[in-house]
Structure 1
Amino acid sequence: MSEQFDVLIVGGGHGGTAAAMALRQYGFDGSVGIVNAESTLPYQRPPLSKSFLAGEVGLDRILIRPESFWAENRITLIQGTRVDAVQPAAKVAITDTGESIGYGQLIWAAGSSPRWLDPARDRKLSGVHVVRDVSDTQRLRTDVLNGSRAVIVGGGYVGLEVAAVLRKLGKPVTVLEAADRVLARVSAEPISQFYEAQHREHGVEIQVGRQVADLEARNGHVNAVHLATGEELPCDVVVIGIGAMPTTAPLIAAGAAAGNGLLVDALCRTSLPGIFAIGDSVAAPNRYAGGATVRLESLQNAADQGVIVARHIAGQPQGDPPVPTFWSDQYDLKLKTVGLNTGYDEVVVRGTPASKSFSVVYLRDGRVTAIDAVNAMKDFAQGKALVRSGADIAPALLADPSRPISDLLAQIAR
């Protein structure tokens, strides 16, 4: 056995590093190790499809902490190493080099991997990209700067963020979305309509209800996208942004219960003794989804779950469940979301989309469950309390932007 840790964390992303830092913050004095599949120091992922892709910041600007931090806090980083198997009875993790790492407790924070249209084909073609890590983005930026026309498959957050950056770089961009509107999985129609209009205004060609049938290549480099309709879109670069799959295989092979991700309880405990799981690879009960078990692909959720596990291991009491939050930067637009709109049956538009500062409030059975705030940071900040309490407020009051949400909260309190 090469090494032994009181707590071994598999994954050096936001969840894994948040867990390690919180362990020290809450007084845990045992040994802590992070096994990170990437060779780079832990870094922030949101800039990969935004400022890092645009070339506005370098890797040094997006590090979660400087290199010295980890040694100073007695957190061992094992870089460029992947865990391929876990033996719960022996409390051992087996790496891709065949080494064994012992642990007292294990935190699985391995995240997720991007979906490909056709993995066997797409990975072999140059010019075809996903955006998941630093090397992905570096390769994409090189191809974009050397190429001309880009096709982005998927009109979710990542696809639209990449489209915005490529337009800033002066490249022609087409976005293909299989659903009847962009952001359909995560937002209501007013948000979709607004973002489609903004992208078209910036020169992005958006095609909805489009299915990709094939990719054409010349000399191993992609040169066209073929649609199910028979149409052909010439291109030099293809970016695939159609979601991600949870990284779960080693724990499932070890016997962990799973559905759409590893199944965990409110403390992020898996069905395997001494093993926790957090982040994109996890399906957990969530009070803001009506108690349903859901998998959230969210930086903030991963970090929040890391803190939950750290507090439990350190013997600290748990606070209230954190309210889920998400964000996306596109052009001069900052979208911030609080809560989960799962099962919403009514939406209220607060303000005027044409002003580029407005919010969409989601209701379920008359109660506020989520808010999408576009360049409306007060609505986002003050709306957390509405979501946390499941406030029952008349839609007419919610729709009036002259009434600050803080006033509505005060009205409830009286």
Structure 2
Amino acid sequence: MPTPTVVIAGAGLAGATTATELREGGYEGRILLLGSEAHHPYIRPPLSKEYLKGDADRSEAFVHPDEWYAQHHVEFMPETEAGSFDGPAHELFVSGGARLTFDSLVIATGASPRHLDVPGAGHGAVYVLRTIDESEWLRSALSVGGRRVVIVGSGWIGMEVAAAARGYGNDVTVLGHAAVPLAAAIGPELGRVYEQLHRDHGVEFRNGVSVVAIGGDDDGPREVVVSNGERITADIVVVGAGAAPNTLVAERSGLDLNNGILVDAGMHASAEDVYAVGDVANPFLPAIGQHLRNEHWANAIAGGKVAARSILGQHASYDDIPYFYSDQYDLGMEYSGYGPLAADAEIVYRGDREAREFIAFWLRDDRVVAGMNVNVWDVNEEVQRLIRSGERVDRARLTDESIDLAAV
């Protein structure tokens, strides 16, 4: 009788978490873990934070030591990409023409960075940041110091790279579509807190602009041409324009798609015995009654665990509150909450925004739907408790620092 087999297409954090949870949950069949890169699975936050800044060793980014996979009988297949699958036959077609038979298939193909589609964007001095190799190349370029760095995009990646670049003593200019950095993620009021933080550290901003071309001689500096007509000289250009889910396998195989692969709360896709996890998955969250795709590392862990439990035949449901963190200069923060509910919610504060030590709460009908603690620590569990409870809160008590948050 053939050995039961789980094939995991994608060797990022979500794929590695799925494999880990399967083994820890007692799964005794084969686990094939397919990675498009040569490296074993690693996590991405350090690539724009600790590792990029030079505060962490490369090895600290990896999910497990290399030997873990053989020790736990996880068959790691590097530089192997999935093409499509035959659902009724339970076969996955991979690069090179091979076919892998599966009992369960987990699609964990992640997302790819968006590139600039303008003349000159393919030059070697123009970087994107998604892989550990790209982080290493960028770290090497930035660490020289004294260079002119232009960052295209004022989201989390762009702002974290800006902080790292300034830490190495480079001149930094950030170009953003929005009128305020990070506005799409946390709103303009809090976005201005970050903008001022960066300005205090010498970063220049051009808000409400786009890049129309990147010029310059091959042997010389680049010239970033902006929609307002300005030309900005750059030795290094970093594009942080977001990412798009890698749905090609799903498209070729007929899975239901909508901003990623649609999955239910148990991470089941629209084909039998097929699951999707991580950046590529758009799971249904029972807590808010809607699908929500996010690209943060906590989602990769949560979704991978749920998929593994579903494969093991357990009742599993995605009930983790979305979470991420960011470190820029001396400002650290943690965010928990549901972006769609926070988008037009009222924000109230506990603490001192001027001193950049506070907690922001997003309220809908006096219920906390998201919270962000900035340079205030050991409160995230309480923030998540308030979100999870769904109960109305007393605003005066919520914003009063003299009252223990646990008592709100």
Instruction: Output the TM-score relative to the length of structure 2.
Output: 0.94
2:139 is the counterpart of 1:141: yes
CA–CA distance in 2 between the matches of 1:76 and 1:200? 48
| CA RMSD, Structure 1 to Structure 2 (Å) | 1.9
CA–CA distance in 2 between the matches of 1:226 and 1:251? 37
The CA deviation string for residues 155-177 of structure 1, in whole angstroms up to 9 with x for no partner, is 11111111111111000001111
Counterpart residue number, 1:180? 179
Change (3 A) 1:33 1:390: same
Secondary structure at 2:185 match in 1: coil
2:106 is the counterpart of 1:103: no
Within a 5 Å distance, the mapping from 1:270-281 to structure 2 comes to 270-281=269-280
Secondary structure at 1:139 match in 2: helix
The Cα of 1:222 is off from its aligned counterpart by 5.9
Within a 5 Å distance, the mapping from 1:10-409 to structure 2 comes to 10-118=9-117, 122=121, 124-146=122-144, 148-219=147-218, 223-288=222-287, 290-318=288-316, 321-344=319-342, 345-408=345-408
Amino acid at match of 1:286: L
Ranges in structure 1 where 5+ consecutive residues have no aligned partner: 409-414
The CA deviation string for residues 364-413 of structure 1, in whole angstroms up to 9 with x for no partner, is 122110101111123322111101112311222221122121011xxxxx
CA–CA distance in 1 between the matches of 2:148 and 2:88? 53
**Bigger shift: residues 230-239 or 62-71:** 62-71
CA–CA distance in 2 between the matches of 1:318 and 1:283? 16
Change (3 A) 1:144 1:188: same
Change (3 A) 1:25 1:243: same
CA–CA distance in 2 between the matches of 1:249 and 1:44? 22
Secondary structure at 2:191 match in 1: helix
Preserved CA contact (<8 Å) 1:85 1:250: yes
Secondary structure at 1:397 match in 2: helix
Amino acid at match of 1:166: A
The Cα of 1:119 is off from its aligned counterpart by 7.7
Secondary structure at 1:359 match in 2: strand
CA–CA distance in 2 between the matches of 1:170 and 1:142? 13
Moved over 4 A (4+): none
Secondary structure at 1:259 match in 2: coil
CA–CA distance in 1 between the matches of 2:203 and 2:58? 28
The alignment-based identity, stated in percent, is 33
Secondary structure at 2:101 match in 1: strand
Secondary structure at 1:398 match in 2: helix
Ranges in structure 2 where 5+ consecutive residues have no aligned partner: none
The Cα of 1:244 is off from its aligned counterpart by 0.5
Change (3 A) 1:341 1:248: closer
Preserved CA contact (<8 Å) 1:127 1:143: no
Preserved CA contact (<8 Å) 2:265 2:318: no
Instruction: Output the TM-score relative to the length of structure 1.
Output: 0.93
CA–CA distance in 1 between the matches of 2:100 and 2:406? 51
Preserved CA contact (<8 Å) 2:13 2:43: yes
